[in-house]
Amino acid sequence: MATAVWDFPTDALVEILLRLPPSSLRRSRLVCRLWRDAIDDRTTEMRSRAKALLWNSSTCVAYVVDDLSSSSTGTCREVWRRGGGHIWYLQLVGTCNGLLCLCNDDEIGGGITLVNPATGETLPLPPLPCASRLILLHHREMWHGAYSFACHPTSGRYKLVHVPCIFGRVCEFSGVRVLTLGEVAWREVPVGHDGGARCNLDAGVISIDGTTHWVTDGAAPRIVSFDLDDERITSVTALPGRPAGPDLYNLTEVHGRLGIVIRGLPTDVWVMEEGRRRCRRYSVRGHDLPRMHFVYGEYVLTADRNNASVYGHLRRKGSLLSGDVVRVSQRDEGSLVANVKIGHSCNNRNFTFAYVETTEPLSVYMAN
């Protein structure tokens, strides 16, 4: 009689699974509980927690903080650097499963390249199909702000998303454009009237758990959610609270959920819960919250006014008050995490990202 799959030795199963690339490994977790537990317990990549990656937009250098529990800045190490030539125009769009997505703002439309710092591999991606028609644009733009890089948790497909937006009153993108890694061409996705309103690029574009989110521009800003699997708008919801201006709020991720940072006195962070409910989860006074990610496990990251240093604040017992609000007071100085200038707002607003080192080869995603 053939051996049932449930009787298959776990050690043999693990040896087989370890030979799969990380993208297939993540999909294999969905087969059954046995496979999920075996992968989570026996593989280094799945056991590792996301670390804080700090991006210096002036020098185009990426640093990773290995241990937020240490007050020593020695835990901050350089993992990637762009070498040679003019580099200030190269900006980090985002990170996903250990891959960095970089945008060359010196190219019309923004030239996108993926980098794996662990292996040193790079992979240039096809340009936006409309880029060749924008040659009349005679000044640099912050092209990187209109992109988001993500991996759908079920399909395992990596996708690059370009949102509806306008640049310098010269060119306007009215629809969503999507590029799946391994494909040679972008697709334009009509989004209808509600989702078609252009993005407020200052608020950021973020992808969480298979959905890309952005905030519409205008007097009544709304959050648009775009499903990466079905490639359609799934919801359009109003912003919580009353932000004082379009540059005083931004999107973020909080433990796998969408968060909205409303900057003021204090700065509040609202988190979208199940059923599209919103609840205030963080209240920070006297500190600046870096973008795009500021929560790592039990730690909250803050930055000084000039973004020259990063501090970690441990959520201690008693800091979780009524209403599940985590409060960081002005007197809580935190521990110095890194003496690294993580950016300047004139050409980039995204400085902190989640990072998990991977040996996943980029060559498998070369377009045929």
For 24-70, write each residue's pLDDT tens digit: 666 676 677 677 667 666 555 554 578 999 998 888 899 999 888 76
For 257-290, write each residue's pLDDT tens digit: 999 999 988 999 999 887 667 788 899 999 999 9
For residues 338-354, average pLDDT:
70
Structurally, the chain folds into a number of domains equal to: 2
Q: What is the pTM of this model?
A: 0.84
Q: Are residues 20 and 82 in the same domain?
A: no
Inside any domain, residue 3 = no
For 309-333, write each residue's pLDDT tens digit: 899 998 764 444 445 788 899 889 8
Radius of gyration of the chain (CA): 21
Q: What is the pLDDT of residue 320?
A: 44
Domain that holds residue 38: 10-47
| β-strand partners of 238 | 222
For 201-235, write each residue's pLDDT tens digit: 999 999 998 999 999 988 788 999 999 999 999 98
Q: Are residues 182 and 136 in the same domain?
A: yes
Q: Are residues 31 and 146 in the same domain?
A: no
Q: What is the pLDDT of residue 3?
A: 45
Q: What is the pLDDT of residue 276?
A: 66
48 close to 97: Cβ distance less than 8 angstroms:
no
291 close to 250: Cβ distance less than 8 angstroms:
yes
- The DSSP line for 129-183 is TTGGGGTT--S---GGGGEEEEE-TTT--EEEEE-SEEETTTEEE-SEEEEETT-
The CATH number that applies at residue 119 is 2.120.10
Q: What is the pLDDT of residue 354?
A: 93
Q: Are residues 38 and 70 in the same domain?
A: no
